[in-house]
Amino acid sequence: MADLEAIQKKLDKILKKERYAHTLGVMYTAGALAMCHGEDIETAMTAGLLHDCGKLSPVEKQMEMCRKYQISLTETEFMIPALIHAKLGAYLAEEKYNIHDKRILDAILYHTTGKPNMNLLEKIIYLADYIEPGRKMIPGLPEVRKLSFTDIDRAVCRCSELTLGFLERMGRTIDPMTRQTYEYYR
Ligand SMILES: [Fe+2]
Ligand SMILES: [Fe+2]
């Protein structure tokens, strides 16, 4: 069983203040969603706590660590550096935080893009990241917050739709998986 307090202490040291606050928000939101949908609460809280453990600042540091640990990055990941922390995070969760539950590692790996046919834990972390209480209010957020507790698949659909819309408006490069998540849940 993971020692949540010990992990919190480590993360408090390596993450920026806002990132750490977000991390706690995701941990507790994941716990609440687990209660609601019948997922193991501690598993969800562990995944929530560690979901951004690879989000070291600046992003060059993430790339440097990927080189150090020989984590190969795809062309898409070089084009969209925001994706790197998920892959690095899954690696660090296993190697540095001693998490060997594949479900937790996958939930960390897919939290940014989602993926088609996610398991319950993956959906919970994907949504908790989006809806945690510290998130800035944007149109659609109250709806996703409510749906996350009432109709989780619909929540994933709306969340991926909003994410896609945001990325398109910002003119950002979009990972094919982000689009596949939306297509699947639509
Ligand atoms: Fe993240
Ligand atoms: Fe996050």
pLDDT digits (tens, 9 = 90+) for 90-137: 999 999 999 999 999 999 999 999 999 999 999 999 999 999 999 999
Confidence of residue 50 (pLDDT cuts 50, 70, 90): very high
Q: Radius of gyration over alpha carbons of the chain, in Å?
A: 15
Which residues, including other chains, have CB under 8 Å from residue 132's CB and lie 6 or more apart? 22, 25, 26, 28, 29
Q: Which residues surround ligand 1, an ion (CB under 5 A)?
A: 52
Give mean pLDDT, residues 72-101: 96
Ligand 2 geometric centre to CA of 1 (Å): 23
| 183 phi and psi angles, rounded to 5 deg | -60, -40
* Relative orientation angle of helices 41-50 and 84-95, to the nearest 10 degrees: 120
Residue type for position 158: R
Ligand 2 geometric centre to CA of 155 (Å): 17
Evaluate if residue 2 carries a pLDDT over 90.
Answer: no
> Residue 159: what pLDDT?
98
Tell me if the pTM is above 0.85: yes
> Residue 1: what pLDDT?
66
